[in-house]
Amino acid sequence: MRALGWLVSALLLASFPAMAAPDAAATPSAKASGLRYPGAKRLDLVEDHFGVKVADPYRWLEGDLRTDPAVQAWVGQENALTRRVIDALPGRAILKQRMQALFAHGRYTLPRKAAGRYFYGYNSGLQNQTPLFVREGLAGPQRLLIDPNQWAKDGSAALAEWAPSPDGRHLLYSVQEAGSDWRTLRVLDVDGGKLLPDAVNWVKFSQLAWDGRGEGFFYSRFAAPGEGQDFQSATVGQQVYYHRLGTAQGEDQLIYATPDRPKLSHTAQVTADGRWLVISSFQGTDTRRELHVAQLTGGRMKVRTLVNGISNDWRLIGSRGPMLYLVTDQGAPRLRVVSIDARYPRSGAKPVVAERGDTLAGGTLVGSRLILAYMADGATVAELVELNGRKVAEVPLPGVGTAAGFAGRDGDPETFFSFSGFTTPASIYRFDTAALRYQLFARPDTPFDPDDFGVEEVSYPSKDGTMIPMTVIRRKSLALSGTSAPTILYGYGGFNLTLTPGYSAMRLAWLEQGGVYAIAHLRGGGEYGRAWHDAGRRANKQNVFDDFIAAGEYLKAKGYTTRDGLAIEGRSNGGLLVGAVVNQRPDLFAAALPAVGVMDMLRFDRFTAGRYWIDDYGSPDREEDFRLLYSYSPYHNIAEGKDYPAILVTTGDTDDRVVPAHSFKYAAALQAADIGPRPRLIRIDSKAGHGSGKPIDKLIDEYADSYAFLAEFTGLKIRDAPR
């Protein structure tokens, strides 16, 4: 345990007004650490859940941060304390400077082609938001279309989703404010660069789908929330609309809705030839959908059922005439490809490509063939397949890593994909499906040598004996010498999400300083198909925590990290993971970063998108699920009397995916508990949401703070010159 004497004199908050009784702020653990946490008043609130008395003393912190003075005061005091601690940390400024340097290189997004025009994003390096450009032809000069850095001085307004019209004349795009999931849709005239008067509000969780003629587009929206409920109210009653260019939103045509099933969400997609509208309906985060289809003839649309019942995954990957090609897990836990005739859906799905040992991640129809991407031990392998299912060839990739993109259309063999690894930023490649050749489109310059770092794939036994894969990244010199070093262990373990190879400038700054970074591929993820996901959700959620704990034990036993040098990090569902395992094994970790986490497992479904997560977590309103959720809920299971690691909770004040009340209540409970001398702090970012759209400068500040905190409590010495 590391001494905290250096903190004491600088961090006493006697000048801060208390929000509770005078002795509430000075808990035994606060006195022991030399910190004086802001007092959080405790409500005498106890509820009965299936015969269990459950206290919720900090429910008042669920109040709206924008309007509740008590919540505002608490947030201000907590941020002031955290800033005093973080700003005193040695190495924080060095990490920030290095992260800025690692970001200071040009990078492109995948180009999208429309009628000979190529649209793509390009960031020169440290621009808070990425501008959008267009080229006339692949070799033409680039022209700036949209610079979202001009929208807000603090960079908090972002260009989110965008789509060019099929004729390339217009660009439909969405504006994201302060990291919120809400979107406003606008349309730009590409030739003149002028904004059209069209504006569509209250769009959330929507695809952007132009009709085949470029006269309008389909989108998904919810009803406008009640006053003051923008960032908290549950999202129900999503509907699909059609907007014709040049009209007001009030004239938009309702295309599809299910008022008798308000928990269903609906997204719209149009086939590349513009002939068919496909509507996908789902209720939660499980990949289970029903599909409806309408022929787009320019006249009245008649929506018909394509796939009835929400029991399997169905994803459109291309079309030729009336034949739709889809990826499905019907009878294939690792997925397969089928075709359905949109004219005669009752004829059912016809097999095209059978299931195989690797999990099928997705596919597209490009030129005259399908490109199918599979996950093989966490990396991408791709192949070209004829529409009759015959394999043509492997898609040549630059190495072992993650390939993404491959968008295209029937009849045009050109596509683009990005390729990245754990220590190599994404490069963009152009691929010709007819010639089977790829060429470099854009590669970022990087201020480091990727060959200095090594990536090891290992596996270890979890508590029940299941072998869990893990990626370990460190300097090759560390591996050769067998030297232990401070280590960050990262995990997620949920919602069928696969942790694939990808570059992070923040992670590289840690590695350059001599730290180790490990990524555990936990059950609950999507690495090995449906069975792997099912093994880590609902009644099996404890497996995820056991897998993560076993990863930490393995890293120590094998000498990757030191006895007091293991930190853990997770975001969103991964924040829940960190909170749960800290409660279960506080002795194993020196420091923890639970970011934007789901911390109150008894009330998560009452806010914004929380109702979707019942598929993975279960429902607090069902007794069987309640007892499981209550057993690991981070907010409800803080272990009094045990020494906890140093904890830095992070969230954003406009996070309307996992509302910040989760982190507020959890941090207040940590600070009130007798759990040892190491600090328990919370960092609340302003005008920031769950993660997407966050300005680069805010992102760098967050990670410089977070990794300096981890360095201090794991013993990593930050030096001016990376080792």
Name the phi and psi angles at 127, rounded to 5.
Answer: -65, 135
Q: Are the beta carbons of 365 and 272 closer than 8 angstroms?
A: yes
Give the span between the Cα atoms of 8 and 10, in whole angstroms: 6
116 Ramachandran zone, left/alpha/beta (phi>0; psi -120 to 50)? left
Q: Which of 530, 203, 515, 560 is nearest to 334 (CA)?
A: 530
Look-up: residue for tokens 């795009």?
173
Give the span between the Cα atoms of 254 and 267, in whole angstroms: 13
What six digits make up the tokens of 412?
């045009």
Q: Are the beta carbons of 647 and 582 closer than 8 angstroms?
A: yes
Largest CA distance in the chain: 76
Q: Are the beta carbons of 362 and 329 closer than 8 angstroms?
A: no
- Cα angle 299, 211, 132; round to 5: 160
Q: Which amino acid is at 644?
A: Y
β-sheet bridge partners, residue 118: 113, 135
Q: Collect all residues with Cβ–Cβ distance below 8 Å to 483 and sequence separation of at least 6.
A: none
Catalytic residue among 174, 220, 420, 572: 572
Q: Specify burial of residue 102 (Cβ count, 10 A radius: 0-12, 13-18, 19+).
A: buried
Look-up: residue for tokens 């920031």?
688
What six digits make up the tokens of 669?
């409970």
292 is catalytic: no
Q: Collect all residues with Cβ–Cβ distance below 8 Å to 479 and sequence separation of at least 6.
A: 454, 456
278 Ramachandran zone, left/alpha/beta (phi>0; psi -120 to 50)? beta
Give the span between the Cα atoms of 65 and 43, in whole angstroms: 18
Reduced to 3 states (helix: H, G, I; strand: E, B; else coil), residue 521 is coil
Q: Which of 678, 652, 654, 650 is nearest to 666 (CA)?
A: 650
What are the contacts of 120-129 at 24+ separation with CB within 8 A? 121/159, 126/100, 126/696, 126/697, 127/696, 128/155, 128/695, 128/696, 128/697, 128/698, 129/155, 129/157, 129/158, 129/159, 129/693, 129/695, 129/696
C-alpha distances in Å from residue 471, one per residue of 343, 376, 386, 421: 47, 14, 35, 12
- Cα angle 577, 582, 588; round to 5: 120
Q: Specify burial of residue 369 (Cβ count, 10 A radius: 0-12, 13-18, 19+).
A: buried
Q: Specify burial of residue 309 (Cβ count, 10 A radius: 0-12, 13-18, 19+).
A: exposed
Q: Which of 170, 169, 109 is nearest to 185 (CA)?
A: 170
Q: Are the beta carbons of 344 and 351 closer than 8 angstroms?
A: no
Q: Are the beta carbons of 423 and 508 closer than 8 angstroms?
A: yes
DSSP state of 512: H
Catalytic residue among 292, 533, 636, 690: 690
Q: Are the beta carbons of 71 and 648 closer than 8 angstroms?
A: no
690 is catalytic: yes
Q: Which of 436, 375, 427, 377 is nearest to 398 (CA)?
A: 427
Give the span between the Cα atoms of 537 and 617, in whole angstroms: 6
Give the span between the Cα atoms of 245 and 167, in whole angstroms: 14
Catalytic annotation, residues:
572, 690
